[in-house]
Structure formats: structure tokens, C-alpha cells
Structure 1
Amino acid sequence: MFISEIKLLGFIGLKSNGNKHYILRVLPFLLALIFVLVVGNQSLSSSPKTTEILWDTYGVPHIYGKDNQSAFQAFGWAQMQSHGNLLLHLYGQARGRAAEYWGEKYLESDHWVQTMGVPERSHSWYLAQSPKFRRYLDAFASGINAYAEKHKDLIADEVEIVLPVKGEDVLAHQMRVLNFTFIANPEEVAGVSKQQSKPGSNGWAIAPSHSENGHAMLLANPHLPWSDLFLWYEAHITAPGINAYGATLVGIPVLAIAFNDNLGWTHTVNTYDGWDNYELKLADRGYRFDGQVRAFKTKTLSLKVKQKDGTLHSQKLVVKSSIHGPVISRKDGKAVALRVVGLDQPGVLQQWWDMARSQNLTQFQAVLQRLQLPMFTVMYADREGHIMHLFNGQVPIRQQGNFEYWQGLIPGDTSKTLWSKTHPYQDLPRVIDPKSGWLQNTNDPPWTTTFPQVLNPDNYPPYMAPRGPMEFRSQRTVEMLAEDDKISFDEMVSYKHSTRMELADRLLDDLIPAARKYGSELARRSADVLSAWDRQTNADSRGAVLFAAWVDAIDFDSVFSKPWSEDSPLTTPDGLANPQSAVTTLSTVAAKVEKTYGNLDVAWGDVFRLQSGDVDLPANGGDGGLGIFRVLNFVPLSDGRFKSVSGDSYVAAIEFSQPVKAMALTSYGNATQPGLASAGDQLKLFARKQLRQVWFSHQDVLSHLAERKVF
């Protein structure tokens, strides 16, 4: 092929009769043609002889593997090139040796990881993998090591101590992320009761009957912190049996949210309970269980802690375990044991891999039925027009109690409260192809996935999921989906960027007249600002700052005159319980807003900012608790403004047309390594409420090629 292109160049040159200017004009185009033909010939073959990574101009790796093992190795290389320092930091923490590597500030992390048995269990998980998938994990690790060896100068000196990485490090990281962060977060476990303020997400599946073009569509939109182990990594993997595009968390060797030519899925954090704290009754150096005294299982570990002078200090960690699980220390002095699901089910990575290789709903469900993925809603759509919402998770089979009961401290002296099995796939709430033509989840319980409601909570164990209330963000998403009979792809993208505040729509009709009736001059001016406000949190929205500050100051649980009701899930709660008190709070808040920002109608984007590196842009979107679909969460800065730190992190909008159509955005960019492209370009798109086209075809990738790596 290459020789024939050289001949073509020579022929053009001869025909030009030696006209050098002519040759110089056509030469760039000919070279580009040669490059595309040569690269295309090497990459489009059904059995390519090499493996390559084609990096597009947004830093997304498109991996073309000659076989699956080579694709895993290339993916390890790609993640190191984009996030090498972060990845090695995360793997060091998953080993429970971070304090040994980087000092005492990581000691608490090591205590958690070692007490939970992550390093030891990762070895047994590694041995439990199929021989083929074990080779894939080893290949991913070898890609990490190969990049680090080739590019030592690009890896921070402090993280090189983690090298070399092994396959079981990958599993330890996965376990720490899923089982001991998402399911059992150490901060939640340390409290007496569980908190429901977990990372969030939006997910939509739209059937052909509800779409303008007659194709099923999918919207993926997780909301996670913009740092650490929560960072998404966007990628495209093609190898024998797979051609999938999506995203995964840094350090995970397979795509966790993805689509191929025929189907796709996303995840949302579901209202799921996969862990429990058991209070133990101590007796005779043991604990009571079913009328007998049992001895604790005890092991003593030695943790090393790096000192400021570089020396290592050893520290003992004594881990006691009951029949329930490891004993954790408590502030109140009680002995409490932690039980977490999924520790005997090590196949989630292979399940995700096989989900991406599935080609229809039957195959996809067969993979889901393994239930190796310990939590997360699955929202699905495909080319054949099917849509599905699965309340996925390893849900413990419990003998008693509703969802609220299991949020507290559980008696640990009886087998009546000790669960040992989880529900099979057929027990889980699931909706396929509803008459409404759409499904949604915004971290609400599964019962409100579509309207008219299909799932009846009375048909499931009372501990499966809570029964309400339906949050305002969920009500907002249902309103957008239900009110548009035929949604186009562009409309779905537009709805994704909606910053309208459902809570404002619910309360301003009471608050504004109350402020004018009961309020001071300042309250009446506030009413004027709120009346003129567009009830959105766009960068130029004026009034949103005042309203959000008022919401932050009220007692949210008691502000409504009409509480949420299962009978009216989309119109309750509603009304002000105490209008005069609400106005008093408004006056207080208004005085602070005016003093801080100089006026009451300060623009939302002047106060709330998108910041990354040198980029500082006005934000749009806000807290989902306000009923905003476009979720952003902020932390205060020293000057009275706020900086985004979590929320919309990865977005993908997919239409299963022929060919598949997709747009996406990784808000903070696709790399954290120094010297690589920062979040700037994508954050600028974020600020403009835009997604970028996904380059899924090989030709599109070549047309937007920034770098090529051949193995």
C-alpha cells in the first residue's frame, strides 16, 4: 500500500512537468492521504497485526487491539499516560501501604484498608478469576509498568515506589472503590446511622415510541467528586468481539458506562443498602451470639509509617473480627462489627467487560444475572428499541425490618439479624419497555422510574428500598420527560443542561406575596428580585443566589405546609407552613447577600465558578436538592465566591440509529498528568452547555488524530 502511494506521488510530479510550486501545493494533501490509507490499512483489518492507541484531540484514547489481551495492555498504558501519578497513588492506598510510601497523613486510610482485609482478599480474588481474565488483568498491569519504564521522567518520583504493579493490585483498587467507598464509606461507617447524601447521577432511557426519530436513546450522567478515586476516564476499546466507547473510573481496566453499535447502559447510585453495623455484647473477652460466648478472630499486622526524615516506623494494628465481620472502633466506646456484601463475589470486572461485548437485551441480561456488580442502578437502551431499568445490587436477604430499620445500629447477639445470602436477579425491581416510553433515575427509589408507575413497593420486601419522598430533582426530570411526547436527540441534550430550579417553582408563588405582605423594605425588594428571576441557575440568572441562600438558611424539613405524599408524588411537598417566619429569614439572608456582593440580584455565574488550573469561568447549574437537573456542588472560596468540586462529571447522550450517534463531555478533561492538555477546552464547553461529538468510527478518529502509539 505504501509503495503504491509513493508511485502516485511520483506520477503527479511527472505530470506537473517539473512545476515545483504545483508539487508544493498538493504535497500536504497527498501526505495526509498516504497517512490515512496506511494507518487505515493497519487498523481496519479484522485481524490487525499490531495494537495501537489513536489519541484524539480531546485526549481520548481509541484502542485497537490485535487481541483482547493486547487491548488490556494498551489500556493500562493509556491510563498511565493520562493519569499515571493519580493511578499509582490509588494503587498504593489500595495496598494499605500508603503511609509507608508517603507518610502519616495516609495512616487512617491504611487502617481502613487493612482492617477491611483488602490486600489479603485481593490475592484470593485474583486466584478466583478465570485463567483468561487473569491474563487480561496481568496485561493491564504490564501496560502500566511498561509505560512507567519507558517514561520514567514523566512519572513523579514519589509514586515510583508503587511499581511494579500486579494484577491483584487492580482488584484491590476495585474492591476499595466499590465495596469500601461506594457501598461502605468509612465516614458513614464511623457514624451511628447511615447518611443518604452519597454521590449522585442522572440516567434516562427513551424508547422509540417516545423519540422523534423512532430510535431508542440513552443519557448517561454520573455526578461524582472531581478528584481522587472518583475521576472518570473516557476511552474507546476495539478488539476481537468488542467495539465499545464509554468511561470508567481511573485505575479500573474495563469500561463501567458504555455503548456499542447495538446497545448501551449507564449507572446511577441507587437507594441501596449493602452494609450493616452490628452492636456486639461483650463477655469473657468475646461476644455473645445466640446465647453463647464466641471468641474473636484476631490478627496482628505491622504497618510502616514513613517519617519526615525518610526513616520507617513500625506500628501494630490489631484486627478483631466477629461472625459479622471486622470490629471497628467507635467514638461511643461500643464494640461494633461491620458486614459488607460482595466480598465473596470477585467477578465484577469480567461482568462489565462482558456487558460491553453483549449485542442484545437477552445477552445483556444473561450477563447481569451473575450479579457480580454489588450496587448501582442499570439504565439500558438498544438498537432494537428496548429500554430497561434494573435496581441492581447484591441485596441482603433479611428476616425482618424495613429500609429505615437497617439504617441504624443492628443487634449483633442473635442470628435473626445476621444475613448471609443476597437476593437473586429475579427478585430485584426491574422495568422493561414501559408503555410510557421512558425510564429515569436520579438516585430516587426505583418505584418512580416511570409514570404511570409500574413498580409497586408492596410487592417487594420492605427493606429493598425506601418509599419516599421523591426528591425535587427527580420530579423535575419526570416533568421534562412526560411533557414532551416526542423527544429529539438535540432536545435530550438540551434537557440535560436544564438549570431550572423545581423548588423555586414550588415555593415562590407563596414566598413572593408573603414578602410583600409581611416584609420590610428589604424583603419587598427581595420579592421584586425573585419575581423577575427566570428561576434558573444559568450564569446570567439574577435572583438564584438570593433564593439558594434562603433555602440554605431555612429548616427544610418543616418549611412545607403540605408534606410529600405517595398519592401525589409529583406535586408535593408544597406551600409554606409559616409564611411570616419564611419572610423573616429572607430579610436576614438578603442583608448578607447585599453586603457580600453589593446587590441582591447578583448574577449566579459571578458567585459560582468553574475553576481548573488557569481556567476560571462562570458556572451554570447547582445543587440537586434544589431540584436542578444540571447538578454542580461547590465549596466556598476566601472571597465569598464558590468553586465547583463535584457534580456533572461525565455526560454521554446516545441515539441508537444507523450508525449510532453520540455526544459526550468529561467536564474536567481526560488527563491529570502534568504537561498534558488540561480541563480547559472541555470546561469551556461545559460553561457553554455544550457536548462534543463522539468519534466512534475509525475514519472519524483518524480525522481528529492527535497522537498515535503502536505496540
Structure 2
Amino acid sequence: MLNNTTLLIALRASRWQNVLRAFIIFILSLCLALFLGSQGFGSAPRHTEILWDTQGVPHIYGNNNRGAFRAFGWAQMQSHGNLLLRLYGQARGRAAEYWGEEYIDSDKWVLTMGVPNRANSWYKAQSPTFRSYLNAFADGINAYAKAHPELIDDEVEIVLPVKPEDVLAHLQRVLNFTFIVNPEQVAGMTDKGSSAGSNAWAIAPKRSASGNAMLLANPHLPWSDLFLWYEAQITAPGIDAYGATLVGIPVLAIAFNDNLGWAHTVNTHDGWDTYELTLAGDGYRFDNRARAFETKTHSLKIKQDDGTLREQPLLVKSSIHGPVVAEKDGKPVALRVVGLDRPGVLEQWWDMARSQNLNQFESALKRLQLPMFTVMYADREGHIMHLFNGQVPVHSQGDFAYWQGTIPGDTSKTLWTKIHPYRDLPRIIDPASGWLQNANDPPWTTTFPPAIKPGNFPPYMAPRIMDFRAQRSARMLAEDEKISFDKMVEYKHSTRMELADRILDDLIPAVRKQGGKLGQRAADVLEAWDRQANADSRGAVLFAFWVEQMDLEQAFSKPWQEGSPLTTPDGLADPKSAVAKLEAAAAKVEKTYGSLDVAWGQAFRLKYGNVDLPANGGDGELGIFRVVEFAPTPDGRFQSIVGDSYVAAVEFSKPVRAMVLTSYGNATQPNSPHVGDQLQLFARKQLRPVWRTRQEIKAHLQERKVF
């Protein structure tokens, strides 16, 4: 038993041991803090920084959100500075003033649509916090230009300094006045459908080999201009998201984090309408009364070859429907577009990327600030979702086909003023099938058995169709009971032509019966062909040339049927004509390439910058999931211009497994080594691993910028 003196000595010794231990811990902690505070890779930095990996992807670590936005502006300038400034100049409606006559039509469109003025009002309508983020993004752009003027083309420097309103003007030009509607559509050069496309899949745990939900994001856009994707990671308080956005947009538009992710596809959404007006004196007639046009005159400035400016007036007349954009049979035609009163698109995307579960994600979606695009979603908890997202006008009459035409504009009965709320939109969560797909088809065919019934929605919501690419997409998912991550990546690169599978069993017998010698040789090639569009596929060129001569809407004896969505259309409507066109196609192929069985990759090329490779993939109209569209070149070959742009395959395992590719590389600046540097992987049908942790990034670090 201890006496008091012994106990006191023991307590004092223990106290000094504790003090000494605490002092040692303090010194060690101080050393560690000093080490990490020197911007080491052990923890999040005290300052904002950009870590550039060897693929040219910026990994942004912001000590606050404003710092992250500023760094993202800097990063976009480093990768795409010339393009970004040119796009912002066009969004101002001053491109002809900066760069000459070829931009007159662009300026007319932007000014007629009221983009610059609306950008100012949208900026004022932002929340104070998000407005500060836009300011920071613009500051980052300007800071880069000031620090590296030698890396920016002289002719685009005139756009500087960039203002946050320019960002919002660019956003409008991209979303509302390119994706929703563009000048060519208004002029009648194309129909109301968009040429832009995409694929997206969501796979539930019940259909996943690993038991984890998986997501496939795969937009198909032109490989140039405002359609270019920019890949990045953004980490800041409350966010750690990886994905891509279009150049000039300050937030990620397709992304994933540790808990969830989403993809977008262009949906069969009708977000614009043209109205034919009946003139009444100097105005127009509406509800049996004459109304005056609202008018505004802009002064277009156009740069001449000698550097002087020529001025040209632009009179914009607007009715209650919107601006007058064309004339039909001597009558003015006015344009009405959704989304012009909803300035919160960027903040919604930002909050989608910050979400950690389905409830949070849907809370952001319910704002309906994003005017169009399907949303395909998957998360770690195993939920999958397809939302036919968009600002869909509420109509009192007509089906989808009716609203594709020009609408009488003399009555309020046809003038829409409201959009459907979120609860009205086609949507499915966790279908019984365990999978969801969209390949720009209407929501009714997102899975089988059908999970969204078209009869439960207004007839103008979406058409009732399913093309061959969508059928191919659904077929791959439906026929595989347990899909592994690697198999999903393999399916993503499938070049099998659903159209060939559907029609060759009718075409080849017709040729054997009716064709001449050339036709028989062509049939031999088609019989031996693997029905794919790989670089070494022989027969694909001949088949594609034949399809080019066919009117596919009239080619089949049995049209597409809702009750047989994956096996129709089918049968040749006019076998004799089809055989004659095959022989004509065969003659053209043989004359051009010297052989009927020319390899696909000899005729079709993947070309970007200085890279030129044999192609795989083809037009979605052929029923190919791996989409690449081509333009003819003077040497008789074809060059890639549209198609698979950004791909992200994600499995919500612990940790998340992800592989990606930005087809044309993550930069366009002439000094960058990343122009076209991923095209070799594209040609080999490969994706690259995502580097998200600081340890992974350090192992593949190319450059570091600390702010």
C-alpha cells in the first residue's frame, strides 16, 4: 500500500511524463503541419492549385469554391484559350466586329435572340454566392491571359477582358440557341431534331456482375467549335467531382463522385416553336385585335480587310411569341424558345455534382433550370434513374407531330406560357429489368419490359419511335444477364450494324435472284462480312455506300411497330430497286478504291490535328453503338468530324472504378502536347484509367500550378 509521499512522487512523475509526451506530440504535429503546408501531396493544400496529369487533365484543388472556379477559368484558358475567347466574342454578338464578314450571320442570330442583354439580366439574377463564383471564373481567364499573352493568338486578344456576363451569354448560345434550336433549323434546312447525339446506360446491382451499380456516359458531338468537351476534376469544400463540360462552361455537365454520377443525352424534346403571323397594318393580328411589333435596332459593326469597320443596321421585330426570324408565304414567322426566364442552369449543375444521394440529386433536378437533355443516373446505393428532363411547354392541343410544324400565331389558344413541372415528366427509378438505356430515342423505350407508358403523358411530350442505334443499345443490355465492368466497356465500343442484321437476310437473296455479275460479287462480299465497322472489316464500306442511296423510311415492307420494337422495321419494300442500288454502290466502291471488299479503315479515317488513323465506328443511322460520322475528303476517303467525344464508364464500387476517354485530346492550344493525343487509344477501342487520388495524380504529374 502506497504512503502519501510515494503517491505524490508518482503523480508528479506521471504529470511530467504526460507533459513531455504532449510536448513531443506537439513538436511532431508542428513538423508535419509545416511539411504538408509546403504544398506536399499528403493532404488538401492550404492554397488553390491545379495538378495537371500526363493526359492534360486539370485536377483542381480549391481551398474555397471561389478559388476552384478561378482555377478552372485558368485551366480552360491554358487548354483552349483561343477557342474560348472566340466563342465568347461570338456570344457577345460582336464577332464580325472582331474578325470580319464571315461572322455576320452569327452576330445576327445572337442579337436577334437577345443574348447579350439577357446575359446581363441573368447575371443580376444569380444568387450572391454563385455570382461570386462566376466572377472568379472570369478572373481566372483574365489572369491567365495577363500572365501568358504570348500563348494567346493576337486576333482573339480583343475579347479581353472577359466578363462574367460573357459566360452566361455563351451558355445561352450553347443551350438555348444551338442545342434547342439553331439558325439552320429555323431556316428549314434541317428538321426540328438535333444532329447531336449520345448514348447513356445505367445498370442496377441485380444486372451487374459485381453487384455494384454502373453508369456509361457517352455523348456524340462535333469535334470542333462550341461542341468540344473538356475533362477535369474539381475538389473544393463540399465537392469532389470528376467529369467533363463544354469549353467555356464553368461547371461540370457530366460527372461522378464517390457516391453517384449522371450522363446526358439529347432527348426528343420540343423546346421551340415557330408561329406564322397575320399582318395587320404595321403590326400583326392576335385574338382579333391588331398589335404592334416591338422593335429594336442594333448597329452591326463589320471589320473590313483594311481594318476599318463598316456599320450595318439590324432591325429586330418581336411579337408576343418572340422575335421574327423568317418569312413564309409572305407572312412573318416568330420564334418562341423555352428556358429564357430560367437563369439557374449553372448552379443546378454545380449542385448536382455536390449531391451525395438520390434525394439530394433530385432536389437539384426539380428546379428545372436545365432546358433539355435526358438525365441517366446511378449511385452507390444501387439506384438507377432515367429522367426525360426538359422545360416542356404546356399545350392545350396537338400531338408531337403537330408541334413540329409552323403554328398559327393569330390566337392565344396556341401560345404556350407555362411549362410542365418536374412531376409531369417521364421518369423511372429502379425498373424491374435492372437496366436503362438512351440513344436519343424517346423515354418509352428506355428499358424492356416498358417501364414508362406513353399513354400516361400528353401526346405532344415525345414521339413514339425507336431507331436502329437505340435497338442495338437495348439488345446488348437485354441479352446479358450479368454485365461486368469490362464487358460494359467492350459493349461501348461495339461497331456491329443493327441495320445489316435486319436487312441482309432480305437483300442478299434478292441479289442472288435478280442481280447481275457485279451484284453477285457484291453479295459474296456482304455474305463474308462480319457486319461490323472495325478498321479491318471488309464489306462495311459497300454496305454503307448502299445505305447512302436508300431512303430508309421507305425501304422496309414492315414499318417499325411499338409492339415489336426490337425486330421492326423489317423486309424489303422494293427488292428490285434495292438490288439496282447495290450494284450502283458496288460500281462506285470498286471505281474509288479498286476493290469491293476494301477495309473500312482504308476508306474511313480518324483524323484530328496531325493524327491520321484507320477508323472504327460509323453513323448511328446504321445501327452502330460506337458512333463516328465522317465528311468526304478530296482523295475519296472520309474524315471523322462528329461522334464519340467523351466516354466515362463508372462502377460504384469502393473505391469507385472508372475509365474515360476524351477522343480528340483535352486541348486545342497550338503549344499543347494534348491535341489529338488520345486518338490512338480511340483507334484501339481503349479507355484510360481515371486518376482521382492525389497519390495517383502524383504518379502521373506533368505540371503544377499554385495560386
TM band (smaller chain): over 0.9
Letter paired with 1:503 = L
Range with bigger deviation, 514-523 or 141-150 = 514-523
3-state secondary structure, aligned to 1:681: coil
3-state secondary structure, aligned to 1:570: coil
Residue 635 of structure 2 is matched in structure 1 by: 639
Residue 340 of structure 1 is matched in structure 2 by: 337
Letter paired with 1:122 = A
Q: How does 1:156-555 map to 2 (within 5 A)?
A: 156-191=153-188, 194-330=191-327, 332-468=329-465, 470-555=466-551
Whole-angstrom distance in 2 between the partners of 1:190 and 1:330: 9
- Specify whether residues 167 and 43 from structure 1 end up closer, same or farther in structure 2 by C-alpha distance, changes over 3 A only: farther
Q: Paired residue for 2:46, among 49, 54, 61? A: 49
Q: CA deviation at 1:681?
A: 2.8
Residue 16 of structure 2 is matched in structure 1 by: none
Residue 670 of structure 1 is matched in structure 2 by: 666
Residue 653 of structure 2 is matched in structure 1 by: 657
The C-alpha deviation readout for 1:642-693, integer Å capped at 9, x for no partner, is 0000100000000000000100000000000011014443100000000000
* Contact kept in structure 2, 1:613 and 1:678, CA below 8 Å: no
The C-alpha deviation readout for 1:98-141, integer Å capped at 9, x for no partner, is 01100111011000000100000000000000000000000000
Whole-angstrom distance in 2 between the partners of 1:554 and 1:176: 35
Percent of pairs identical after alignment? 75
Whole-angstrom distance in 1 between the partners of 2:47 and 2:194: 47
Q: Paired residue for 1:155, among 152, 156, 180? A: 152
Q: CA deviation at 1:251?
A: 0.1
Whole-angstrom distance in 2 between the partners of 1:70 and 1:62: 13
Letter paired with 1:709 = K
TM-score normalized by structure 1? 0.94
- Specify whether residues 47 and 520 from structure 1 end up closer, same or farther in structure 2 by C-alpha distance, changes over 3 A only: closer
3-state secondary structure, aligned to 1:330: strand
Q: CA deviation at 1:513?
A: 1.5
Whole-angstrom distance in 1 between the partners of 2:484 and 2:568: 29
Structure showing greater radius of gyration is 2
3-state secondary structure, aligned to 2:547: helix
Q: CA deviation at 1:517?
A: 1.4
Q: CA deviation at 1:329?
A: 2.7
Residue 690 of structure 1 is matched in structure 2 by: 686
Aligned length: 676
* Contact kept in structure 2, 1:43 and 1:64, CA below 8 Å: no
* Contact kept in structure 1, 2:37 and 2:46, CA below 8 Å: no
Q: CA deviation at 1:582?
A: 1.1
Residue 699 of structure 1 is matched in structure 2 by: 695
Residue 81 of structure 2 is matched in structure 1 by: 84
3-state secondary structure, aligned to 2:440: coil
* Contact kept in structure 1, 2:61 and 2:235, CA below 8 Å: yes
Q: CA deviation at 1:194?
A: 3.2
Q: Paired residue for 1:580, among 572, 576, 581? A: 576
Whole-angstrom distance in 2 between the partners of 1:297 and 1:601: 61
Whole-angstrom distance in 2 between the partners of 1:71 and 1:197: 33
The C-alpha deviation readout for 1:469-510, integer Å capped at 9, x for no partner, is x10001101110000000000000000000000000001111
- Specify whether residues 65 and 692 from structure 1 end up closer, same or farther in structure 2 by C-alpha distance, changes over 3 A only: same
Q: Does 1:709 align with 2:705?
A: yes
TM-score normalized by structure 2? 0.94
Residue 558 of structure 1 is matched in structure 2 by: 554
Q: Paired residue for 1:58, among 55, 59, 77? A: 55
Whole-angstrom distance in 2 between the partners of 1:49 and 1:65: 9
Q: Paired residue for 1:141, among 138, 147, 163? A: 138
- Specify whether residues 45 and 134 from structure 1 end up closer, same or farther in structure 2 by C-alpha distance, changes over 3 A only: farther
Q: Paired residue for 2:614, among 612, 615, 618? A: 618
3-state secondary structure, aligned to 2:264: strand
* Contact kept in structure 2, 1:193 and 1:407, CA below 8 Å: no
Unaligned 5+ segments in structure 2 are: 1-30
Letter paired with 1:67 = N
Whole-angstrom distance in 1 between the partners of 2:376 and 2:205: 15
3-state secondary structure, aligned to 2:463: coil
3-state secondary structure, aligned to 1:158: helix
The C-alpha deviation readout for 1:124-168, integer Å capped at 9, x for no partner, is 000000000000000000000000000000000000000000111
How large is the RMSD of aligned CA atoms in angstroms? 1.5
Whole-angstrom distance in 2 between the partners of 1:40 and 1:263: 31
Q: CA deviation at 1:340?
A: 0.5
* Contact kept in structure 2, 1:193 and 1:409, CA below 8 Å: no
The C-alpha deviation readout for 1:272-303, integer Å capped at 9, x for no partner, is 00010000000110000000000011111111
* Contact kept in structure 2, 1:286 and 1:295, CA below 8 Å: yes
Q: Paired residue for 1:594, among 586, 590, 595? A: 590
The C-alpha deviation readout for 1:16-46, integer Å capped at 9, x for no partner, is xxxxxxxxxxxxxxxxxx9xx9679736677
Unaligned 5+ segments in structure 1 are: 1-33
Whole-angstrom distance in 2 between the partners of 1:165 and 1:701: 31
Whole-angstrom distance in 1 between the partners of 2:476 and 2:37: 43
* Contact kept in structure 2, 1:667 and 1:679, CA below 8 Å: no
Residue 7 of structure 1 is matched in structure 2 by: none
3-state secondary structure, aligned to 1:168: helix
The C-alpha deviation readout for 1:345-396, integer Å capped at 9, x for no partner, is 0000000000000000000000000000000000000000000000000000
Residue 28 of structure 1 is matched in structure 2 by: none
Residue 25 of structure 2 is matched in structure 1 by: none
Whole-angstrom distance in 2 between the partners of 1:452 and 1:400: 30
